[in-house]
Amino acid sequence: MATRERAGVWFREEKRRRPRLSRERIVEGAVALLDADGVDGLSMRRLAARVGAGTMSLYEYVAGKEDVLDLALDAVMAEIEPADPAEADADWRTALARQATRTREVMRRHPWTVVLLGTRPLLGPNFLLRSERVYAILVRAGLDGRPLIAAVNAVFSYVHGFVAAENAWRGWVRGPGDEAELRRRAQEHLDALADRYPTLARHAQLDYADFDGGFELGLQIVLDGVESRLTGLRAGAGGQHMA
């Protein structure tokens, strides 16, 4: 598929239409449907019914479902308050951690985003602004080139992977009591196999249910890696300067 076709809606100008319908109304309806029924529950027919229009009327504003998904995904990205690189100069870790936490909150609020992120051309204005801010934070901290891209990918991949697992688990258990029982039984099962899996039985802690604490600790470990790379770069630059 050609690049222009794959990027779809972001490479086409929106045509001006009569006010009976708008791209904004279509996107609002799409987000509501996606929140309720996920990606599989979105169809152009159901979306048209949601916004009170004929199905064919939607095609005056979008080329099809793929456009709608791209627009809806970028629309919810606006819920992530973008970081301010200028405020991050003194403490890039705090700024980046705050951005990652806000991203997790939005992905938890809209679970379907986990399905779409990483599979679509993320070229919408809301996503690009937030990406610009994250890149700027790390560039100001001292990264560039491949280490910069790797650091951004490491943070994003951590957030995406964590929330994907978290959302899947939340969708599977039926409540706190059910979750506690499942975790207890899983730990008992592992304890019974301690002779075969001694390290897991002792350290896996399957009864640990603090997603917030787990997310924060894991994020700090990822940021430790970024900071270690920055420390190495600064030490190398200092050594070259002395030489």
Specify the pLDDT at position 243.
Answer: 43
Specify the pLDDT at position 175.
Answer: 79
Specify the pLDDT at position 240.
Answer: 54
Among 139, 144, 143, CA closest to 83:
139
Alpha helices in 78-144 (DSSP H): 92-109, 112-116, 125-141
Q: In this predicted structure, which of 32-46, 122-136, 178-192 has the lowest mean pLDDT?
A: 178-192
44-65 burial code (b ≥16 CB/10 A, e <16): beebbebbebeeebbeebbeee
Specify the pLDDT at position 18.
Answer: 54
Please report the domains of the chain, with CATH numbers, ordered by start residue.
Answer: 3-77 (1.10.10.60), 92-172+210-242 (1.10.357.10)
Q: What is the largest CA-CA distance in the chain?
A: 72
Percent of the chain with pLDDT over 90: 70
Confidence of residue 205 (pLDDT cuts 50, 70, 90): confident
Confidence of residue 7 (pLDDT cuts 50, 70, 90): low
Distance of alpha carbon 21 from the chain centroid: 30
Q: Are 138 and 148 in contact (CB under 8 A)?
A: yes
Specify the pLDDT at position 6.
Answer: 61
Q: What is the mean pLDDT of residues 213-241?
A: 86
Is the confidence at residue 4, as pLDDT, over 80? no
Mean pLDDT estimate for the chain: 89
Is the confidence at residue 138, as pLDDT, over 90? yes
Token pair of 169 as six digits = 């688990």
Q: What is the mean pLDDT of residues 137-146?
A: 94
Query: How far is residue 32 from each of residues 72, 76, 101, 191, 204, measured CA to CA in Å?
Result: 10, 11, 23, 44, 38
Of 207 and 223, more confident = 223
Specify the pLDDT at position 242.
Answer: 41
Specify the pLDDT at position 241.
Answer: 46
Is the confidence at residue 13, as pLDDT, over 80? no
Distance CA 55, CA 45 (A): 5
Specify the pLDDT at position 38.
Answer: 96
| DSSP codes, 175-225 | SHHHHHHHHHHHHHHHHHTTTTSHHHHHH--TT---HHHHHHHHHHHHHHH
